[in-house]
Amino acid sequence: MSATHGVLRDTARTVLILAAALAGCWWLQQAAPSQALVPAVFVLAVDLVALVTEGYAYGIAASLISVLAVNYVFTAPYFVFSLTVPENILSTVIMLAVTIITSTLTTQRKRQDQIRSETARESMRANLLRAISHDLRTPLTTIYGSCSAIIENYDRIPKAQQIKLLGEVREEADWLIRMVENLLSVTRIDGGKVRIVKTPTVLEELIDSVLIKFRKRYPGQAVQVEIPEDFLIIPMDAVLIEQVIINLLENAVQHAEGMTQLWLRVRCKESKAVFEVADNGCGIPRDRLDSLFDGRMDGADGHKNMGIGLSVCATIIRAHGGAITGENDPGGGAVFRFTLALDPAEDPQPEPR
């Protein structure tokens, strides 16, 4: 928004609110003549002005205007600026002080809110970075250690054990790849500067592609798919949404202890597609329900921690203008749900930074 636009908007708001206060007092004066109400109404008006405008200037200007208006219109002698009556001077000074203080306080509070939300974002970023560094170090240690062991003791380690070590190296590398893919996805949309490019994607093809990739990683895990029979096209960045679904499925495999069934459901509700990944495992621990998507790491859980995976999901879905939730099913197990708009015209607003 341009600066002139902001000034115009704030001036218009100030004028409107003051005009409303003036009109209101005038009407009150006609209905029930009472001196006590007028200053109260103007204090309220100034407070409102300070709330809806940027900076101190409008609030203070509004308070000066109010004082003059009260003096001119509503204080005897009417329609004259009179600072000769001592009580008029005193009431003018008091009112000026009250309005300036309220407008200053309101503005200060707004600034503090802004600072607080910036701090929250910073600390979320720091948490994410800490989690990432930790998560990257663990597999790298295994990879480096196993490879060194094999190179330095090539003749002494039995072949079977070498293959076992190399298998672990591959597993860890595979995990690192997925991690980096997640991070890449976030950098692709982080900052809200880069708009997501949505292309019309056939739901069936998306789900097909997801299942093939998921099966490659977890050949033993069956997924029950329930999607609409109809041909359905949803605008999205398919690579990113594919990653969201895979992350959610993977999250179930790694965290839903005792799971015997895993569902992937999609249905249309109003003008939205609702995606659901549900399992019948142990559910989400109650103390984690509130912070599922903020990338918090899970203490001693080693690199099985999917906090980053879930926070990546949230970032992607929000950038699409959708919503994501995670909760426990009353019947047992966890349900993760996210929505995407079906209408391509419904463009997402990029997240403010």
Please, which of residues 151-180 interact with other proteins by CB under 8 A?
173, 177
- How would you write 68-82 as a 3-class SS string? HHHHHHHCCCCCCCC
Q: How many residues bind other proteins (CB under 8 A)?
A: 26
In the numeric block, the tokens 């663990």 are attached to 138
Question: Whole-number minimum distance, CB 191 to other proteins, in Å?
Answer: 17
Name 340's bridge partners. Answer: 273
If the CB atoms of residues 203 and 297 are measured against other proteins, the closer one turns out to be 203
Please, which of residues 231-250 interact with other proteins by CB under 8 A?
231, 233, 238-239, 242
Please report whether residue 223 would count as binding other proteins according to CB under 8 A.
yes
Q: Using alpha carbons, list the distances in angstroms from residue 342 to 86, 198, 200, 212, 236.
A: 69, 11, 10, 24, 9
Among 91, 162, 209, 221, binds other proteins (CB under 8 A): 209
Question: Whole-number minimum distance, CB 263 to other proteins, in Å?
Answer: 13
In the numeric block, the tokens 């047992």 are attached to 332
Q: How does 36-64 read in b/e, with b if 16+ C-beta sit within 10 Å?
A: eebbebbbebbbbbbbebeeeebbbbbbe
Please report whether residue 201 would count as binding other proteins according to CB under 8 A.
yes
Question: Whole-number minimum distance, CB 202 to other proteins, in Å?
Answer: 5
If the CB atoms of residues 151 and 300 are measured against other proteins, the closer one turns out to be 151
Among 36, 212, 300, 345, binds other proteins (CB under 8 A): 212
Question: Rounded CA gap, 9 and 252, in Å?
Answer: 49
Among 208, 301, 329, 343, binds other proteins (CB under 8 A): 208
Nearest to 247 by CA among 299, 195, 298, 314: 314
* Range in contact with other proteins (rule: CB under 8 A) among 67-75, 159-167, 222-230, 330-338: 222-230
Among 188, 288, 303, 337, binds other proteins (CB under 8 A): 188
Cβ neighbours around 286 below 10 Å, total: 8
Nearest to 218 by CA among 188, 178, 182, 271: 178
Please report whether residue 37 would count as binding other proteins according to CB under 8 A.
no
Among 93, 140, 184, 194, binds other proteins (CB under 8 A): 184
If the CB atoms of residues 205 and 343 are measured against other proteins, the closer one turns out to be 205
Question: Rounded CA gap, 13 and 44, in Å?
Answer: 14
Question: Whole-number minimum distance, CB 259 to other proteins, in Å?
Answer: 18
Question: Rounded CA gap, 320 and 348, in Å?
Answer: 6
Strands (E), the chain: 199-202, 224-226, 233-236, 262-269, 272-279, 324-328, 334-341
If the CB atoms of residues 238 and 314 are measured against other proteins, the closer one turns out to be 238
Binding region for other proteins (CB under 8 A): 173, 177, 181, 184, 188, 199-202, 204-209, 211-212, 215, 223, 225, 227, 231, 233, 238-239, 242
